[in-house]
């Protein structure tokens, strides 16, 4: 198995504050991995350590096989980062902003046109950044993060300030990048986003991982063992998700009384509450 990220027993203490406690997980190459947790749970601290911006107190963090703390320029070129501390030059045009960063990353400036098309901003390239909407600015930041074609892309709450249409657009872009082979590490407190995008998710609570699996496997694991049925005469019944329940449903079908059948499928949000005892947002 080839891993993009390997994290073992990662801890971070700020003064008296334990931000992360023995966090361990691996991210496979080509995966979209979701790191989910409420405010203050340690998501940004993790991203900062993974991207070499902050040193851990203890534990091992490897990116593409090398320790994060020892990344050199050539290694940094393999990662892209999108966080909310923008760094865009508001008075410069979209194109000039990206060309500035292309030069900084030693990427051919022709790549700017390519990413602008990819994020749907080719028509906006001559506009000043300050004249663009929040959703557009976020797409410029994504364009900037992928200018140098990183192998691993880190996104810290990429959609938290966006409206539903822009969230959808962002999701499509991320799925496209992933299809091209980019590994994505995403922090979010949006459970629907995680369920829609992520191959696997980790639930972070008070600096510790409390669950880690694919959204489907978690939904299966935490599924309620009941099925709700509605009969044609309006009666509602709940039966067990077992042989006796199946027999009852079968009888209602045979006598043509059955209208609808619903299983209790928990959302990721329901599961997070069950696991941690608290809501995400």
Ligand X SMILES: Nc1ncnc2c1ncn2[C@@H]1O[C@H](COP(=O)(O)OP(=O)(O)OP(=O)(O)O)[C@@H](O)[C@H]1O
Report the interface residues with ligand X, using CB under 6 A: 14, 17, 19, 37, 39-45
Nearer to ligand X by Cβ, of 21 and 107: the residue is 21
Query: How are strands ordered across the β-sheet holding 79-82?
Result: 79-82, 152-156, 183-188, 32-36, 200-205, 208-213
Q: Which of 176, 172, 222, 218 is nearest to 196 (CA)?
A: 172
Beta carbon of residue 197, minimum distance to ligand X (angstroms, whole number): 18
Nearer to ligand X, 12 or 148 (CB): 12
H-type helices in the chain, by residue range? 43-50, 73-76, 94-104, 110-118, 134-146, 164-179, 191-197, 215-221, 243-254, 268-276
Closest approach of ligand X to the CB of residue 154, in Å: 13
Q: How far apart are CA 245 and CA 225, in angstroms?
A: 10
In the DSSP assignment, the letter for residue 140 is H
On the CB side of 33, CA atoms within 13 Å amount to: 26
Task: CB nearer to ligand X: give 37 or 215.
Answer: 37
Sign of CA pseudo-dihedral 159, 163, 164, 166: negative
Which residue, 137 or 189, is less far from ligand X as judged by CB?
Answer: 189
Residue written as token pair 């699996």:
213
The rounded distance, in Å, linking the Cα atoms of 242 and 254 is 18
Measured distance CA(210)–CA(277) in Å, rounded: 11
Please, which residue, 99 or 211, has the CB nearer to ligand X? Answer: 211
> Which among 83, 59, 52 is positioned nearest to 6, based on CA atoms?
59
In the complex, the smallest distance separating the C-beta of residue 181 from ligand X, rounded to whole angstroms, is: 27
Please state the closest distance from residue 44 (CB atom) to ligand X, in A: 3
Nearer to ligand X, 57 or 118 (CB): 57
Nearer to ligand X, 17 or 238 (CB): 17
Between 51 and 107, whose beta carbon lies closer to ligand X? Answer: 51
The Cα 142–Cα 155 span in angstroms is 9
Helix (H, G, I), strand (E, B) or coil at 178: helix
Token readout for 39 is 């405010």
- Smallest gap from Cβ 148 to ligand X, in A, equals 25
């Amino acid at each position: 198995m080839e891993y993009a990220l390997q994290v073992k027993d990662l801890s971070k203490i700020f003064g008296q504050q334990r931000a992360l406690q023995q966090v361990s997980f691996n991210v496979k190459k080509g995966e979209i991995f979701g790191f989910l947790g409420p405010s203050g749970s340690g998501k940004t601290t993790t991203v900062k350590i993974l991207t070499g911006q902050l040193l851990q107190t203890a534990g091992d963090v490897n990116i593409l096989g090398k320790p994060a703390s020892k990344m050199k320029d050539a290694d940094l070129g393999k990662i892209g980062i999108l966080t909310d501390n923008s760094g865009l030059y508001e008075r410069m045009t979209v194109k000039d902003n990206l060309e500035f960063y292309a030069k900084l990353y030693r990427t051919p400036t022709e790549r700017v046109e390519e990413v602008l098309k990819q994020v749907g901003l080719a028509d906006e390239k001559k506009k000043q950044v300050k004249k663009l909407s929040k959703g557009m600015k976020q797409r410029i930041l994504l364009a900037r993060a992928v200018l140098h074609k990183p192998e691993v892309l880190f996104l810290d709450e990429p959609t938290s300030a966006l409206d539903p249409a822009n969230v959808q657009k962002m999701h499509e872009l991320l799925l496209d990048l992933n299809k091209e082979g980019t590994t994505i590490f995403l922090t979010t407190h949006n459970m629907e986003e995680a369920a829609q995008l992520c191959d696997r998710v980790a639930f972070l609570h008070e600096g510790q991982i409390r669950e880690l699996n694919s959204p489907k496997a978690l939904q299966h694991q935490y599924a309620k063992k009941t099925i709700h049925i509605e009969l044609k005469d309006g009666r509602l019944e709940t039966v067990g998700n077992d042989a006796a329940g199946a027999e009852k449903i079968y009888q209602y079908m045979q006598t043509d009384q059955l209208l609808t059948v619903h299983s209790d499928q928990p959302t990721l949000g329901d599961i997070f509450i069950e696991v941690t005892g608290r809501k995400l947002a």
